[in-house]
Structure 1
Amino acid sequence: MTDPSTHWRRLAGSAVLLDGFHALKHALRFGAEVPVAVAVDRGAALALAGELAPDVRGPLEALLTEVPQAVYAALVPRPHPTGVAALAVRPSREAALERLRRLPRTAPVVVLDQPRNLGNAGAVIRLAAGFGATGVVTTGTLDPWHPTVVRGGAGLHFATAVERLDVAGLPPGPVFALDPEGEDIRGVELPDDALLAFGSERSGLTAELRARADHLLALPMRPQVSSYNLATSVAMTLYHWSLGRGRGPGAPDALEAPEAPEALGAPEA
């Protein structure tokens, strides 16, 4: 049997770090290829799977190797409270791009226009996966597969398409961009093939993305509140889309816009 630490170091340069039990759980659920996984306490990790995720207990039992605390700490930059870590093969970029560009789509693509905060980007990917979005695209320099982003996404990068593109290379579809000068989102039904674009925390949408936008939308916000957190803005927008599709118990068949909102705001990334 190959020493897990040797196997780990051989793969670490190209693989995706799955930091913690929940990241590994989600990755396995959505078909990730995981060549190596370690745990400080294998029995405790399997017990946690039995309690919280019995569907992946079998794969974990076959995959997990117990290692001493010192070995585990040497393999990961920030040890996770669950004492579990794994390496996964990053999905094919070509397959992700094909999924993002395929029409018709049954769910929107979320676009983060030059985001800066790694944790926020991870939270958005987790949200997008939860809502069944087609994918998440980032523009700019932030790597959406950075270990901190994957940690924030709890392994759900494997549940949706995640790629970095420039604005000119965005997937096809109408762009609905969040901006304080936009139309109240409550009066707009978002189509399944939409690109939902959110600007950065400091400067909002770039001029290039704004020029690409087909519609500017604003979220309702009370006066003197300057912005929402990026993940909150994405959640509100995706929930609004889901209501327009009549998803969930009691969801209306069509949106009814309320009377004039108190104020409208843009997201904060």
Structure 2
Amino acid sequence: MTDPVTAGLDPLDPLDPLGRWRRLADGAVLLDGFHALKHAVRFGAEVPVAVAVDRRAALALAGELAPDVRAALDGLLTEVTEATYASLVPRPHPTAVAALAVRPSREAHLDRLRQASRTTPVVVLDNPRNLGNAGAVIRLAAGFGATGVVTTGTLDPWHPTVVRGGAGLHFATAVERLTVDELPAGPVFALDPEGDDIRGVELPDDALLAFGSERSGLSPELRARAGRLLALPMRPQVSSYNLATSVAMTLYHWSAAGGASHYLQGSPR
């Protein structure tokens, strides 16, 4: 019986996007949706295959929202049927655009994280549990120009759900999973309800800003590594902030003192 997804495709054609996708899928990063592809291209990702159900509509969206990458997307996008697109992604995106990207080398990311002259913080998520939260944090870190985002524990920060939540901005910062012992050098400021009020503290540009898991807070290992515990202002009887909200507040506090002023001058959408 003929597979309706592959019908009409030449299996010997090296330009066949479906065949290329299936060959690359296991080791590649899934870019799920137009905005993930837009950001990945904008920040230099290597994208060997990209598809859209409506190529013209995707390019029109690029012309409206991302004219700086429209020409690149014009050269990348191949139009496919809706059935083919649905066979390539676990959960179709409203923009019906998807792509595969080459994951940046771990060695390059580690070199960036370990630079002795870091001028922006590293965000450390200590044993995070929620994939969507991790993606939102990576998006925030990229927006503030952070050096990178490091996770400890079992969560894979390059999981497709995390990449989807990060809107492809993994390629704008260094994202890696490390143990507490492997964290880069630098002063560690860990967020904890029992810490000092963050409003009275100036965060250095080379700081490691550490946040505990959504359920259990900081691990004993990370707490022992911290040079100082800090607390965010919060109304009494409110239990906690969402992880991404906590990271946003902390990065804003750092930036408001002058950090990353050369990053935050406005940028393409």
| Global fold match (TM > 0.5) | yes
Structure 2 counterpart of 1:212, one-letter code = R
Asked whether the 8 Å contact 2:120–2:259 carries over to 1, the reply is no
Tell me, yes or no, if structure 1 residue 63 matches structure 2 residue 80: no
Asked whether the 8 Å contact 2:139–2:167 carries over to 1, the reply is yes
**Cα distance in 1, alignment partners of residues 225 and 53 from structure 2:** 49
**Cα distance in 1, alignment partners of residues 160 and 94 from structure 2:** 16
Aligned length: 249
CA displacement 1:28-62 (0-9 Å, x = unmatched): 00000000000000000000001111111101111
Which of residues 53, 57, 65 is equivalent to 1:52? 65
**Alpha-carbon offset, residue 185 of structure 1:** 0.2
**Cα distance in 1, alignment partners of residues 15 and 171 from structure 2:** 26
Which of residues 76, 93, 99 is equivalent to 1:86? 99
Structure 1 counterpart of 2:206, one-letter code = D
Give SS of 1:95's match.
helix
1:95 is matched with 108
Asked whether the 8 Å contact 2:35–2:167 carries over to 1, the reply is yes
After TM superposition, the structure 1 = structure 2 runs for residues 120-139 of structure 1, keeping only pairs within 5 Å, are: 120-139=133-152
Asked whether the 8 Å contact 2:120–2:260 carries over to 1, the reply is no
Distance 1:52 1:112, change over 3 A: same
After TM superposition, the structure 1 = structure 2 runs for residues 191-202 of structure 1, keeping only pairs within 5 Å, are: 191-202=204-215
Asked whether the 8 Å contact 2:205–2:259 carries over to 1, the reply is no
**Cα distance in 1, alignment partners of residues 97 and 84 from structure 2:** 12
1:142 is matched with 155
**Cα distance in 2, alignment partners of residues 247 and 168 from structure 1:** 27
**Cα distance in 1, alignment partners of residues 241 and 215 from structure 2:** 12
**Cα distance in 2, alignment partners of residues 101 and 68 from structure 1:** 45
Question: Percent of aligned pairs with the same residue?
Answer: 84
CA displacement 1:134-162 (0-9 Å, x = unmatched): 00000000000000000000000000000
5+ residue gaps in structure 1? 249-269
**Cα distance in 1, alignment partners of residues 228 and 241 from structure 2:** 20
TM-score by length of 1: 0.91
After TM superposition, the structure 1 = structure 2 runs for residues 1-269 of structure 1, keeping only pairs within 5 Å, are: 1-245=14-258
Give SS of 1:182's match.
strand
**Cα distance in 2, alignment partners of residues 138 and 204 from structure 1:** 14
**Cα distance in 1, alignment partners of residues 221 and 198 from structure 2:** 22
Asked whether the 8 Å contact 2:145–2:260 carries over to 1, the reply is no
